Amino acid sequence: MNEPILEVENLTVQFKAKTKMFRSTGDREKWKRVLNAISFSLRQGETFGIVGETGSGKTTLARTLVGIYKPKDCKVTLYGKRVDFRKKEGILLLRKTIGIVFQDPVGSLNPRVTVYDIISEGIPVWEKLKEEQKAEKVREAARLVDLPESKLESYPTELSGGEKQRVSLARTIIGGKKILVLDEPTSSLDVSIQAQILNLLIRLKKELSISYIFITHDLNVIKYMCDRVAVLYYGQILEQGNTEEIFEHPRHPYSSDLVAANISFSSTTKFSEVQESGEPTKEGCVYKNSCSKRFASCDNEPPVIDYGKGTVKCWLYSNMRDDRGNKMER
Amino acid sequence: MIDSIQRRDKLSPNLLEVSNLSVNFETIDRTVEVLKDVSVTVGKEEVVGVVGESGSGKSTLAQVIVGVLDIPPARIMGGRILLEGKEILPHPENKVNFRGKGINMIFQEPLTSLNPVYSVHDQMEEAVNIGHPKLEKKEKEAIIRKSLAEVMIRDVEGVLNVYPHQLSGGMRQRVSIAMVLVQKPNLLILDEPTTGLDLIVQRKIISLIMNLKKEVLSSILLITHDLAVAANMCDRIYVMYAGRVVESGKMRDVLHDPKHPYTTMLKNSEPEGYANGAPLKVSSGAPPDLRHLPPGCAFNPRCPMAMDICRSKVPELKKLADNREVACWLYE
């Protein structure tokens, strides 16, 4: 497959737990580590899915990738160039190439300006376009996202949820971004509208040859949209690899719990006894308190094991052989 | 006519019978028809789903049934609701007498349905006082603990002393289920019970409800937008669009062979399997604005099979084989 265009290595993001109140709710540390040594890469024309539950750090990851949060430690390479998060140039490079669509279309669109103004805001300032050229570009972007031209003069409150998300998309693609970070782009939408937006995303990817980092909690959407997927839990990637591989043969116990819990309308669910799940933990494997396959090694940090079609961070596979009988190595 | 209805009431095996219910929302400058001629029945020990997108009127339907709808601005234009053969619409003076043991409801967002200034124990106690007013305090305490254990809360004593905001989303929803359980309602209405919950938690809550249904609960009316959840829980289903029931029938029949084009579209909208770049089969357009409904069938602007008659006349619900009903001119 193609060369990776974005490579993220050891991305760690932590927030300062400033007030006493915040600290008293959890552990009494001064820093809360939200993302812990995340590594993944995105290839040209690929849709890379990131799936995780509440508090897994999905949104923090999205925001870090567009330079809203500064990571503590990382090595991010974008089209072969190293991104320095401490320098203005680094952040600029990120924002020139990576665009973001937020989950909440109401909160991310300014209610006081028209749709035209919102979309034209996405045109980079250095292009120094004349008004007519700008108008032409905005109309072109609106056409690409199937937004009727009559809506350009409306205000965000006059739009439906699907139209708002189209405006967010138009604002992002108008700047010629090559990578889009989609943070739960369809979670607040009705199913029929969600289907339209997913279709739009599939079409845009082909027409503009862009790549997506698709963040969602909905496994059916991930399965449908993504080429590769990473499973995020409590700030760590527990497993990543080919989507079909992960859905058909989940290796990490957490991935298999997730896949087993997923219901689609063609599945016939057996309602088993409910197991109580434990809290994520800091020592050793993060999932050990909820894991059904826990054993002694789990108290130590698990190794990341490459099984060819992906990687899994679990002690279960440290000395095992893969399906083809090859020895798996660290 | 009235005689025949009353005779049917006596024979009816249905726990809940909503017939021809119409509700309007009235404001100073306009009237919006939120429910039009809606008939829904829930049999004993049956799980019935009401599925629809936003604006379909599914939550209003639930609110009318439990009697928590604000009147005004809402106004009930007609129809009857029978619970075990007894009329509960208009709601009698002492409204609450059918709530609790008769009908109980679990809301979508447990943080807003639980009281933030009372501890879990105090709220549970209130529920027990309604469900079992004559018991001794000791017995009541035992019931509280038993029902919390029934919803798989391990640390019962710990949960009892905290306030709702200290619990996670799944735990809150379990507490609200426990509160309902102590009253052992004949009909439980679930309004989007798992929306906004994580996948594993959602699965647990659904399993919990279905397991408890066997032992404690009688019937369930599930209001949801999620076809997948409905498909896995319900025996029968009603599909609503713009305030009307457009299709109903056994869950399996409706899912495998949807009759109404809207149901087909809903089914096609669900991403299923690996696409590898293939688009979903879905028509354009959005759920209608109830203030400006198109003439004729409300679905006609989005319908791939719309005919001339669809744009002028509203189709009536028509009975088909296997106890199915569909409101579509294709089947006239």
Mark yes or no for CB contact B274/A277 under 8 Å: no
Residue A265 contacts B where some CB pair is shorter than 8 Å = yes
Residue A292 contacts B where some CB pair is shorter than 8 Å = no
Chain A hits for B265, Cβ within 8 Å: 192
Mark yes or no for CB contact A220/B274 under 8 Å: no
Structure tokens that stand for A307 in this block: 């099984």
| Chain B CA closest to residue A163 | B286
Instruction: Indicate whether B115 belongs to any domain.
Output: no
Number of domains in chain B: 1
B150 Rama class: left (phi>0) / alpha (psi -120 to 50) / beta = alpha
Residue A113 contacts B where some CB pair is shorter than 8 Å = no
Instruction: Indicate whether B229 belongs to any domain.
Output: no
pLDDT in tens, chain A (330 residues): 578 899 999 999 988 766 555 555 555 567 778 888 889 999 998 999 999 888 788 888 998 998 888 888 888 898 888 888 888 888 888 888 999 998 887 788 889 999 999 999 888 877 788 888 889 999 999 999 989 888 899 999 888 888 899 999 999 999 888 899 999 888 878 888 889 999 999 999 989 999 999 998 888 899 999 999 999 998 899 999 999 999 999 999 889 888 888 887 776 666 666 566 677 777 888 888 888 888 888 888 888 888 888 888 888 887 654 444 445 443
* Per-residue b or e along B76-88, where b marks 16 or more CB atoms closer than 10 Å to that residue's CB: bbebbbbbbeeeb
Chain CA centroid to CA A285, Å: 22
B270 CB-near residues (< 8 Å, 6+ apart): A191, A195, A220, A264, A265, B227, B228
- Say which residue the tokens 């509208």 belong to: A193
| Chain A CA closest to residue B168 | A54
Q: Which residues of chain B fall short of a pLDDT of 50?
A: 1-11
* Distance from the B262 Cα atom to the nearest Cα atom in chain A, whole angstroms: 10
Rounded distance between C-alpha atoms, residue B161 and residue B153, angstroms: 13
Identify the CATH number of the domain in which residue B28 sits. 3.40.50.300
Instruction: Indicate whether B189 belongs to any domain.
Output: no
Smallest Cβ–Cβ distance between B53 and the set A191, A265, A266 belongs to A191
Rounded distance between C-alpha atoms, residue B40 and residue B27, angstroms: 27
Q: How confident is the model at residue B49, as a pLDDT?
A: 92
The conformation of residue A327, written as its DSSP 8-state character, comes to: B
Q: How confident is the model at residue A325, as a pLDDT?
A: 44
How many CB atoms neighbour CB A136 within 10 A?
12
Chain CA centroid to CA B219, Å: 12
Q: How confident is the model at residue A270, as a pLDDT?
A: 63
Q: How confident is the model at residue B277, as a pLDDT?
A: 67
Mark yes or no for CB contact B210/A264 under 8 Å: no
* Distance from the A90 Cα atom to the nearest Cα atom in chain B, whole angstroms: 33
The pTM (predicted TM-score) of the whole model is 0.85
Mark yes or no for CB contact A274/B229 under 8 Å: no
Structure tokens that stand for A245 in this block: 């591989």
Rounded distance between C-alpha atoms, residue B312 and residue A258, angstroms: 48
Mark yes or no for CB contact A258/B210 under 8 Å: no
Residue B152 contacts A where some CB pair is shorter than 8 Å = yes
* Distance from the B296 Cα atom to the nearest Cα atom in chain A, whole angstroms: 21
Smallest Cβ–Cβ distance between A194 and the set B228, B232, B269 belongs to B269
Q: How confident is the model at residue A181, as a pLDDT?
A: 93
Q: Strand locations in chain B, DSSP E?
A: 14-26, 31-43, 47-51, 74-83, 86-87, 103-106, 187-191, 219-224, 236-241, 244-250, 318-320, 324-326
Structure tokens that stand for B63 in this block: 């609110």
Residues paired with residue B22 on neighbouring β-strands, in sequence order? B78
| Among A residues 170-199, those touching chain B with beta carbons less than 8 Å apart | 190-196, 198-199
Mark yes or no for CB contact B273/A223 under 8 Å: yes
Residue B59 contacts A where some CB pair is shorter than 8 Å = no
Instruction: Indicate whether B35 belongs to any domain.
Output: yes
* Distance from the B185 Cα atom to the nearest Cα atom in chain A, whole angstroms: 22
**Residue span of the structural domain in which B331 resides:** 1-98+234-269+287-332
Instruction: Indicate whether B78 belongs to any domain.
Output: yes
Mark yes or no for CB contact B199/A261 under 8 Å: yes
Give yes or no for a contact between B178 and B135, defined as CB atoms under 8 angstroms apart: no
* Distance from the A263 Cα atom to the nearest Cα atom in chain B, whole angstroms: 6
Q: How confident is the model at residue A330, as a pLDDT?
A: 38
Rounded distance between C-alpha atoms, residue A21 and residue B294, angstroms: 54
Structural domains in chain A, sorted by start:
4-111+160-234 (3.40.50.300), 252-330 (no CATH)
Instruction: Indicate whether B316 belongs to any domain.
Output: yes
Instruction: Indicate whether B139 belongs to any domain.
Output: no
Q: How confident is the model at residue A3, as a pLDDT?
A: 81
Residue A19 contacts B where some CB pair is shorter than 8 Å = no
Q: What is the ipTM of this complex?
A: 0.80
Instruction: Indicate whether B228 belongs to any domain.
Output: no
